[in-house]
Structure 1
Amino acid sequence: MELWYTEKQTENFGITSKIKETLVTEKTDFQDLAMIDTNEWGRMLVLDGMVMTSVRDEFVYHEMVAHPALSTHPNPKNVLVVGGGDGGVIREVLKHPEVEKAVLVEIDGKVIEYSKKYLPEIAGELDNPRVEVIVNDGYMHIHDHKNTYDVIMVDSTEPVGPAVELFSKGFYQGIYESLKEDGIFVAQTDNPWFKADLIQTVNRDVREIFPIVRVYGANIPTYPSGLWTFTMGSKKYDPLQVEEASIPEFETKYYTPRLHKAAFVLPKFVEDLVK
């Protein structure tokens, strides 16, 4: 008998993957969590029926959350990651030696626990001495830490359940206040095929708060439609003004200095969404 996992990405469309083994299923205090081992993508974290990460393609998302912002800010000493309990963004953040402290605030401690157990390739840096892990509400953490961080990264699920607040204008205003005077923030902002309205709303809200706003994209095959967007808000530094030669080389699988500016070149229909 074959066992398959299907994520319904809309009412009429989904992706499916053959499963070797179901490693864990649990209803946490915040969401339905599953860790499965698939034939095509390896071990996979699923929250509320949505793929969060897989061993095979995780590097794209985690690199593209972390490196464009950190390569734009000239001295990102203090970095906050909201969400991201799998540890992938933290792993990428630590590749930048100028980062003195990386704080992870994840609301669901079970995500951290099971990621350490089943996704060591992704979560392996969560015990690094440069990292502080806090199990708490990222929304409240932002509002309790004014003028604290050089870079803030929002690695959230889609806007359902505990992540709804992380797509609100009030949250973006709180991020602005939590950043230092030359701070940068970046958030994943879903896909333009099924969530065009979300991208437009986020872009509008962030533009009302930050003087510099840029949207960029990446290809992530296990995410809805495969085409994913990220939105960056900056108080001072423009990622399009970064010189390629100033970006240091470090070990990556997707992001490169040459890709940095290229990622901000959007397909016409996506460009039209954020004009």
Structure 2
Amino acid sequence: MELWFSEYQSKNVRFSLRIKDMLYSRKTPYQFLSVFETEEMGRIMTLDDVVQLTTRDEFVYHEMISHVPLFTHRSPEKVLVIGGGDGGTIREILKHPVKKVHLVEIDEQVIEASKKFFPSLSLGFSDPRTSIFCEDGIEFVKNNKGYDVIIIDSTDPLGPAVGLFSREFYKDVFSALNNDGIMVAQTESPFFYGDFLKRVYGDISSIFRFTNIYTAVIPTYPGAFWTFTMGSKSIDPTAVDPGELPDLDTKYYSRDIHKSCFVLPPFVKNIISK
């Protein structure tokens, strides 16, 4: 008998993967967490039946949400990650000479599942520069300041993550950043969530001096074409010279990608300008 996992990426679109084995399934205090072994995409983690990562393509998301803002800043020392309990973003941040990384993940069981089933992502949890806080990221940002870069590595704007996409939250993020600080958030697919992208872009651009959308291709996310929205207090990310960036051990991110990812297709420009 065939076993399939299916995610409804919209009310009319379903994405399915053939499953080899179910490795883990549990209702946490916040969401339903599962880990599967698949035929095509390796090991996957889902939350409330939505794919969060696969071992085959996770590097795209984690490299792009991390290296673009960190190299835009050029000298980050203290970085905050809100969400990101799988550890992939932490892994990429620690490739930079940062001094402190704070991870704020509301669901401790996501962290524990990643340690057990995704060791290639969670290895940064044991780095002495990493501190982990299992609490509400919205409240944490209100009470902690002095960050060079804040990365909002959240799930979709549903359930426990919905407050991470509000204008009030972005204002608190602004206050938590240093004068040359930068924030970035994952902001969904322009194909399926254009209205959402427009709202978030408008909220962030009303607070930060520079607001820019950049993109990446992530096969298992809705539409496969994904956006990130960056807010910067003083640094224009499009003025960064990629030729001056150092090399890193990456699979997707590169100097050329850093420059080209800010070039938006006309339909995305129209979404945020109409």
For 1:90 and 1:74, the matched residues in 2 are separated by 17
State TM-score, norm by structure 2.
0.99
User: What does residue 89 of structure 2 align with?
Assistant: 89
Query: 186-195 vs 121-130, which deviates more?
Result: 121-130
Q: Is 2:3 aligned against 1:3? A: yes
Post-superposition CA distance 1:8-58 (Å, at most 9, x none):
111111110000000111110000110111111111010011100010000
Letter of the aligned partner of 1:4 in structure 2? W
For 2:15 and 2:74, the matched residues in 1 are separated by 40
Residue number among 207, 210, 213 corresponding to 2:211 in the alignment: 213
User: What does residue 258 of structure 1 align with?
Assistant: 256
Unmatched 5+ residue regions in structure 2?
Answer: none
User: What does residue 19 of structure 1 align with?
Assistant: 19
For 1:191 and 1:260, the matched residues in 2 are separated by 19
User: What does residue 144 of structure 2 align with?
Assistant: 145
User: What does residue 115 of structure 2 align with?
Assistant: 116
Post-superposition CA distance 1:102-135 (Å, at most 9, x none):
1100000000000010011111111111110111
For 1:184 and 1:125, the matched residues in 2 are separated by 22
- Cα displacement (A) at 1:217: 0.3
Query: 5 Å matches for 1:51-130?
Result: 51-97=51-97, 99-130=98-129
User: What does residue 177 of structure 2 align with?
Assistant: 179
Q: Is the 8 A contact 1:239 1:261 kept in 2?
A: no
Q: Is 2:211 aligned against 1:245? A: no
User: What does residue 268 of structure 1 align with?
Assistant: 266
For 1:57 and 1:198, the matched residues in 2 are separated by 24
For 1:272 and 1:116, the matched residues in 2 are separated by 42
Q: Is 2:156 aligned against 1:158? A: yes
Letter of the aligned partner of 2:223 in structure 1? S
- Cα displacement (A) at 1:258: 1.1
- Cα displacement (A) at 1:236: 0.6
User: What does residue 222 of structure 1 align with?
Assistant: 220
Q: Is the 8 A contact 1:184 1:232 kept in 2?
A: yes
Moved over 4 A (4+): none
User: What does residue 37 of structure 2 align with?
Assistant: 37
Q: Is the 8 A contact 1:149 1:183 kept in 2?
A: yes
SS of 2:249 mapped into structure 1: coil
Q: Is 2:134 aligned against 1:135? A: yes
For 1:55 and 1:231, the matched residues in 2 are separated by 24
For 1:138 and 1:248, the matched residues in 2 are separated by 31
Identity %: 49
For 1:264 and 1:184, the matched residues in 2 are separated by 15
SS of 1:124 mapped into structure 2: helix
Post-superposition CA distance 1:165-186 (Å, at most 9, x none):
0000011000000001110000
For 1:245 and 1:61, the matched residues in 2 are separated by 22
- Cα displacement (A) at 1:245: 2.2
Q: Alignment length, in residue pairs?
A: 273
For 2:258 and 2:157, the matched residues in 1 are separated by 27
- Cα displacement (A) at 1:164: 0.3
